[in-house]
Structure 1
Amino acid sequence: MKTIIVGVGGVTNGGKSTLSQFLHQKIHNSSIIAQDTYFKDDFVVPLDSNGFKQYDTLDALHMEEMMKEVYSWRKDPHEFLRRRGLIAKDSSADDELYILIVEGFLIFNHRPLNEMFDMRYFLEIPYDVCKKRRSMRVYAPPDPPNYFDGYVWPMYLQNREEMERITSEIVFLDGLKPKDEVLAAVYEDIRKEIARLQGKAAS
């Protein structure tokens, strides 16, 4: 059994979910674990000195629960898929290759998770585009006035700087390029790695 763990990170509204879902649909035996599903309840997320909720930190996430899911997949990806009804109960795991796509805005900032990635991708878009896209999204709870400039963007810059101190093995993607071009490039990259591993298994 061969495995690949792919990290898809990036700025808010940069296209992480779109890329992750595209890969999931294209790649056989793939699974997605999304960091956004592990946010703590709103009432336990603290405020900063400006009164903004500190969502863009690892402390705002149940990272231990997320890591349990990742470890569960790594221990037995075939069973992970079977429990979710994504493969037949009587299918065999022999000689199969499994892909885990981990998607989120702080996946490369959590060292235990970052160290597990075989491939890392980070979607970038400039400040003005990011701000416009963020303003068109509806969040629960909604963003308060000046939240983007007063908290979201400064935290993105801070988290990105920390991320780059942790690892240099990241492929940066231009989120302003045509979506199909970005999706195809990443898929082809992963497809080549799959072929390499399958070739190793056959040799």
Structure 2
Amino acid sequence: MGIMIIGIAGGTGSGKTTLTERLKERFGDDVSIIYHDNYYKQHDGMTYDERSKLNYDHPDAFDTELMIEHVNRLRRGESVRCPVYDYSIHNRTDKTVEIHPTKVIIVEGILIFQNQELRDLMDIKIFVDTDADVRILRRIMRDVLERKRSLESVVNQYLDTVKPMHEQFVEPSKRAADIIVLEGGRNIVALDMIMQRVHSHIAGLPAQTSQV
């Protein structure tokens, strides 16, 4: 059996990271994760204030071509050096993280289904669908507590770019999904079905032995 590529997409705060983490916890070293967020374009020539005003929810904010190259290399069995993004400075750092090819590669991000070339590399496409009010509350909690941002800046960004970009790009990309999961990793029934499919692949069992 070759390497299985699983795409997990969904709006900000939808629960896609929780789903990704549940799969990683269950299958350990058989799973590697590559985050689209780490492929935000580098803007060393801008000041912090200039970078903070960029639209980070538009497809053009990402170096998706580099991610496509890395996913292709992983599928061929090659390791890659993934860039590392720092939200506190709105820029990439000078560090990289080595990602090794494993039986299952999870590609996660809000816009990974928007690009057809990237989408076509995925064997299973999962979209995590969660109500907008829940997503914004989760984003506020995350950005204020974990990323040390002000409540005002989080709300302004949501209204100015996150919400309109979600409606323009993220929500329409749901149509490309093979599976739509409500509430992400908190959906125990869907999580169990996905885990069965992943287990079948890792164990080398025929795909029809699990239903997803």
Fold equivalence (TM over 0.5): yes
The alpha-carbon deviation at position 177 of structure 1 amounts to 7.9
The residue correspondences of 1:122-161 to structure 2 (distance < 5 A) are 122-138=127-143, 139=147, 143-161=153-171
Partner of 1:6 in structure 2?
A: 6
Distance 1:86 1:155, change over 3 A: closer
The alpha-carbon deviation at position 14 of structure 1 amounts to 1.2
Partner of 1:111 in structure 2?
A: 116
Q: Which moved more, 1:180-189 or 1:147-156?
A: 180-189
1:100 partner letter: I
The residue correspondences of 1:42-57 to structure 2 (distance < 5 A) are 43=46, 53-57=54-58
The alignment status of 1:198 with 2:197, answered yes or no, reads no
The alpha-carbon deviation at position 58 of structure 1 amounts to 1.6
Q: Is the 8 A contact 1:8 1:20 kept in 2?
A: yes
- Which has more strand, going by share of residues? 2
The alpha-carbon deviation at position 25 of structure 1 amounts to 3.0
SS of structure 2 residue aligned to 1:117: coil
Distance 1:192 1:136, change over 3 A: same
1:177 and 1:62 map into 2 onto residues whose CA distance is: 27
Q: Is the 8 A contact 1:5 1:102 kept in 2?
A: yes
The alignment status of 1:101 with 2:110, answered yes or no, reads no
The alpha-carbon deviation at position 145 of structure 1 amounts to 4.5
Q: Is the 8 A contact 1:24 1:101 kept in 2?
A: no
Residues 159-195 of structure 1, C-alpha deviation per residue, up to 9 Å, x if partnerless?
A: 1354246x3x431111178354443332123334555
SS of structure 1 residue aligned to 2:205: helix
Distance 1:162 1:86, change over 3 A: closer
The alpha-carbon deviation at position 126 of structure 1 amounts to 0.8
Partner of 2:23 in structure 1?
A: 23
1:119 partner letter: I
SS of structure 2 residue aligned to 1:137: helix
The alpha-carbon deviation at position 53 of structure 1 amounts to 2.7
2:163 partner letter: W
The alpha-carbon deviation at position 109 of structure 1 amounts to 0.4
1:8 partner letter: I
1:176 and 1:115 map into 2 onto residues whose CA distance is: 22
1:58 and 1:170 map into 2 onto residues whose CA distance is: 21
Q: What do you get for the CA RMSD once the two structures are aligned?
A: 3.3
Q: Which moved more, 1:144-153 or 1:12-21?
A: 144-153
In percent, how many aligned pairs have the same letter? Answer: 28
2:123 partner letter: D
> Scaled by the length of structure 2, what TM-score is found?
0.70
Partner of 1:36 in structure 2?
A: 37
Partner of 1:187 in structure 2?
A: 195
Aligned residues: 181
The alpha-carbon deviation at position 29 of structure 1 amounts to 2.4
2:25 and 2:119 map into 1 onto residues whose CA distance is: 24
> Scaled by the length of structure 1, what TM-score is found?
0.73
Bigger radius of gyration: 1
